[in-house]
Amino acid sequence: MRQQNVRTLSLVVCTFTYLLIGAAVFDALESDTETERLRIIETVRQELLGRYNISGSEYKLIETVIIENQPHKAGPQWKFAGALYFVTVVVAMIGYGHSTPETVGGKAFCIVYAVVGIPLGMVMFQSIGERLNKFTSVIIKKMKKMLGCTTTEATDVNQLCVTGTLSSIVMTAGAAVFSHYENWNYIDAFYYCFITLTTIGFGDFVALQKENALTTKPGYVALSLVFILFGLTVVAASINLLVLRFMTMNTDEVKAGDYEMQD
Amino acid sequence: MRQQNVRTLSLVVCTFTYLLIGAAVFDALESDTETERLRIIETVRQELLGRYNISGSEYKLIETVIIENQPHKAGPQWKFAGALYFVTVVVAMIGYGHSTPETVGGKAFCIVYAVVGIPLGMVMFQSIGERLNKFTSVIIKKMKKMLGCTTTEATDVNQLCVTGTLSSIVMTAGAAVFSHYENWNYIDAFYYCFITLTTIGFGDFVALQKENALTTKPGYVALSLVFILFGLTVVAASINLLVLRFMTMNTDEVKAGDYEMQD
Ligand SMILES: [K+]
Ligand SMILES: [K+]
């Protein structure tokens, strides 16, 4: 079997094993809390049904109305500042889902917008990330020269350390800022920053959703957008190093493979 | 100014312009529907307060309980099948947020898990995507030979057409499947597939959340996971072509820049 096929296959096996292990751990960590929560839901539902004499079907209706309107509870999301927050979250592929298009036109435009915006955003983040890597490599070389090292090359490992450290600083500093503005505890704020900058974007914690922040605190809106864009750049620089290096390595081998096939 | 700096700067300007335009369009598309919804919320709230004689603070409590417990409404999410769905959604960076860790241990493990899992997943998707591109290029060459073309090279544009078409097929076919299983209209189902395979993952539509599908329909669970993993591979193949080509082009120039600096 060709070398790249073997590598791809081992990656698939690794990833699936990793997924199975992860599923087992989360099952162990979260299942008990969840069972407890399901019990609470039932208790509360029964109590409400009894106390206010609500029928089962009416409770379902109330539940639906409250959940459907949840995104709107935090105040208007589609005035300009909110819409800007939304498109940033789309182009960066974070997708909190704190507010999503309700109209058919909005959904269709969202698809068209993302088809162009995502490649544009990816290329931009990678481009800035690559510039950042260039900049750190120059700094590393100068530092090594100053320290009188025998080799003044900036290796991949050197650079990965620098951008990795920078990513951690952005996350820990960001966590402090958001825990202050959003009244989250530090762990939750760090979790928010991590989930945002890895572009997972669960949406269980979303900045700018309290006290009409989108309309009343323009400074904080700007700060949040800058955090997302700058943070993603730094993380993109790390990922640029980690993954791109692997991918181009792979591409080189493919070219070698091409010659093999032509022989 | 150096050529790469100019390019990076123009990308930044392009992206910001694109974000501003997008924000204006979404504002125009969604703001009216939203105002209407906010009015409905208020009407419903007033009606409930009146009909059941609920106090304002008690309504808030009910609202909080219902919203907090929303992820648990769809049945257990953390038994093995659900946990596997969750970790797949994390590693692929989709992050629907339909269920998220509630315990501190779960959140901490989620961070550690993602730090390893995301690069692993990215490398795997890119690796399979690259193999797929290789495969399509061989097919294209054979087709061109059969058709008696003067040049039998598979160009980037040829390949991008093929993987682009393949992506569209996966999405339209996936939309049909999910619209059947989830009782969504076709547009919503297509929107779900698109938002999933671009890894935006809003979570406004999430498969496997009806009728305890996670525990009662193992076949459908497997189908959904395969759709996500296979779909992402095809999309990764397209992105691999689109972005990687740009990035390596950029890297080559950086190398040229290095020599400049050493002169
Ligand atoms: K996401
Ligand atoms: K998401």
Is the pLDDT confidence value at A109 over 80?
Answer: yes
Place of tokens 């297509």: B190
Whole-prediction pTM value?
0.89
Tell me what ipTM this predicted complex has. 0.88
Ligand number, closest to the Cα atom of B204: 2
Round the average pLDDT of chain A to a whole number and report it.
Answer: 86
In this complex, the residue of B31, B78, B248 whose CB is nearest that of residue A34 is: B78
Q: What are the residue ranges of helices labelled H in B56-212?
A: 56-68, 70-73, 80-91, 104-146, 156-182, 186-197
Tokens of A127: 């481009």
The torsion defined by the Cα of B57, A35, A184 and A210, in degrees rounded to 10, comes to -40
Q: Report how far residue A132's alpha carbon sits from residue A134's, in angstroms, rounded to the nearest whole number.
A: 5
Q: Can you say how many angstroms the Cα of residue A189 is from the centroid of all Cα atoms in its chain?
A: 14
Please list, residue by residue across B67-94, b when 16 or more beta carbons sit within 10 angstroms of its beta carbon and e when fewer do.
Answer: eebbbbebbbbbbebbbbbbbbbbbbbb
**Would you state the pLDDT for residue A259?**
43
**Would you state the pLDDT for residue B21?**
96
Q: Can you say how many angstroms the Cα of residue A232 is from the centroid of all Cα atoms in its chain?
A: 9
pLDDT bin (cut points 50, 70, 90) of residue A133 is confident
Ligand 1 mean position, distance from CA B117 (Å): 15
Mind telling me how many Å the CA of B92 is from chain A's nearest CA? 8
Q: Are A94 and A204 in contact (CB under 8 A)?
A: no
Mind telling me how many Å the CA of B73 is from chain A's nearest CA? 8
Local confidence pLDDT in tens for the 263 residues of chain B: 678 889 889 999 999 999 999 999 999 999 998 888 888 878 877 887 788 777 778 777 788 778 777 766 677 889 899 999 999 999 999 999 998 998 999 999 999 999 999 989 988 988 888 888 888 889 999 988 888 888 888 888 888 888 889 999 999 999 999 999 999 999 999 999 999 999 999 999 999 998 888 889 999 999 999 999 999 999 878 877 777 666 666 555 545 444 444 43
Report CB contact under 8 Å: B19, A77: no
The torsion defined by the Cα of B172, B176, B181 and B184, in degrees rounded to 10, comes to 90
**Would you state the pLDDT for residue B249?**
60
Q: Report how far residue B144's alpha carbon sits from residue B123's, in angstroms, rounded to the nearest whole number.
A: 31
Is the pLDDT confidence value at A89 over 60?
Answer: yes
What whole-number percentage of chain A has pLDDT above 90? 46
